[in-house]
Every structure is written in structure tokens, then in C-alpha cells.
Structure 1
Amino acid sequence: MSQSSLDDEELFGEAAEEMRADVEEHLDAARAELPAAADVWEVDADNTLGVLNALRSALDVEDVEAHLRDAKKAFVVGKRADAFEDADDLEEEIDAVEAVLGDIETAREQVGELASTVPELRSALEEANAGGEDGDDEDSDEDAA
């Protein structure tokens, strides 16, 4: 190998390009793993709990988190090494994916809370209605007599 092929500046430039490509690939992968809007909006279920469980499944973002973490790691290293000529665009893309991820996580938590509350509410309503039916039966029996 000639000395010119091992020039530090050239190697640094190649490494910076590879690092930027790595960040972009992880961001693309994170975006690809985001739930489709239709999966969140259109749900096929027989009851409310089924809808909530389907929605909670659609909002699973573990793979998104993993890709975003990898993108951020590569970005932080590249930024600290001053390897990117323009890091602002990458940072904006990371922030955008992170914002959507935050919204999804919030929605998933809320759906999870509803999924645990709805069966309790159903039971409470069944008990309340059963109590009311007993009273109605007594009134009906008195009216019949």
C-alpha cells in the first residue's frame, strides 16, 4: 500500500462517511419499524377489550427503540469526534423519530391502563345492574300479588 492510501485525513473522511451512513441506516430501520397508521386506526375486534389489546399490540415499539438507540450512539460518537460536516439534519431526524416514539409510548401506557380498567368497570357495572335487577324483581312480584 502506498503512503497516500493511509493518509489520516482520508481515513477520517471515510470513517465519517461510514458513521453518517450508519446513523441514517438505523434511522431508516427505526422508521420502518414504526406502526403503520392503519394498524393503529383500524382494528378488528369483537369487544372493547379486544380493541384495546389489538391497539396495544400495534403500539409495540421495542424494535424502534433499539434502532433509535443505535442511531443515537453512532451520532453521539460522530458529533463528539466532529466527524459530520453538518450534524443538524441528523439531529433533527433523530429528534423527530424520538418524538413519535414518545407519543407512541404515551399512547401505549394509556391503552394499557384502559385495558386493565375496562374489565373492572364491566364487573362493577354487572354487579350494580344485578343489584338493581333484584330490586326490580321484588317490585314486579309485589305488583303481581
Structure 2
Amino acid sequence: MSQATFGDDEELFGEAANEMREDVESSLADGWDALPDADDVWETDADNVLGVLNGLKTALDSGDAEDHLRDAKKWFTMGQRADAFEDADDLEEEIGDLEEAIGSISEAGEQVGDLTSTIPALRGTLEDAGPSDADDNENEADADDEDDE
């Protein structure tokens, strides 16, 4: 292999390493962009708790963020194994941050999902709790009889 060819290989490897880093950065940016907006998670226009929970459950969808994270991890891993990155600590940290954000959103979505299925049953339990309407009518009639005496 001639010296000129070796020099060209180094230049090509450097270009490939830069492109790999750009791919990781681009996938991370797309991942962050795919996460729900903070206002969508915070604000609501629902009329009741179940409406709020359903809206929140919908807002807590991380969309394509997981796919973008996977792409970032794929290119990052490839670049690391090829020893293509001079300094990749920032990429590794951002991958971890995005992964943590997606995990938090997913966990919150599961909790909201649990509440969404629990709240209607709780409402029914509370509506059925206590004396029945017939008992209430009897108690009112007894109180009226006592007033007549």
C-alpha cells in the first residue's frame, strides 16, 4: 500500500467519523423534538378528571423519540467501536439524558393509564357507598313523624 493511499484512507476515515457524529447529533435532536411539549402535559381544557387523565395520557406519548434514540445509540456504538470519536463524552451524556426523559415520560404514562382505569371504578364505588335512596326516604319519613308528635 502506498503512502498516498494510506493518507487518503485517513482522510476518508476522518470524514466518516465526522458524518457518524453528525448522524448521532441529528438523531438526538430529532429525539428531543419528538418528545411532547411541556405545555401539552401541563395544560388542559377537560371538564372532568377522566377527561384530564385521558388528555394527559395522550400528551405523554413520546412519539418517534424512541426510534431516534435507537438510531443515535446505533451510530454512537458504531463510532465508539471504530474508535472514530476523539471525544464522545458529550454524546454519551446526551444519549443518557434523552433515554432518561423517555423513561420518565413512559413511566408517567403508565401511572396515568392506571388512574384512567381506576377513577371510573372509584366513582362507581363512591356513588354506591352509603345508605340507599330508600333508606334516606325512610329516615326522612321517621323524622317527619317525630315532628308531628
Q: Could you tell me the TM-score, scaled by structure 2's length?
A: 0.89
Task: Give the distance between the partners of 2:114 and 2:73, measured in 1 at CA.
Answer: 30
Identity %: 58
Aligned to 1:59: 60
Q: Which moved more, 1:83-92 or 1:131-140?
A: 131-140
Q: Aligned-pair distance for 1:143?
A: 2.3
Aligned to 1:98: 99
Aligned to 1:141: 141
- The amino acid across from 1:108 in the alignment is G
How well do the aligned residues superpose, as a CA RMSD in angstroms?
A: 1.7
Q: Aligned-pair distance for 1:132?
A: 4.1
Q: Which moved more, 1:61-70 or 1:112-121?
A: 61-70
Structure number with bigger Rg? 2
Task: Give the distance between the partners of 1:80 and 1:43, measured in 2 at CA.
Answer: 46
- The amino acid across from 2:114 in the alignment is E
Q: Could you tell me the TM-score, scaled by structure 1's length?
A: 0.91
Q: What does the per-residue CA deviation read over 1:28-62, in whole Å, with 9 as the maximum and x for residues that have no partner?
A: 00111111111111111011000001001111013
Unaligned regions of 5+ residues in structure 2, if any? none
Q: Is the 8 A contact 2:35 2:63 kept in 1?
A: no
Unaligned regions of 5+ residues in structure 1, if any? none
Residues 1-145 of structure 1 mapped to structure 2, 5 A cutoff: 7-129=8-130, 131-145=131-145
Task: Give the distance between the partners of 1:134 and 1:86, measured in 2 at CA.
Answer: 76
**Secondary structure class of the residue paired with 1:138:** helix
- The amino acid across from 1:19 in the alignment is M
Task: Give the distance between the partners of 1:90 and 1:134, measured in 2 at CA.
Answer: 68
Moved segments of 4+, more than 4 Å? 3-6
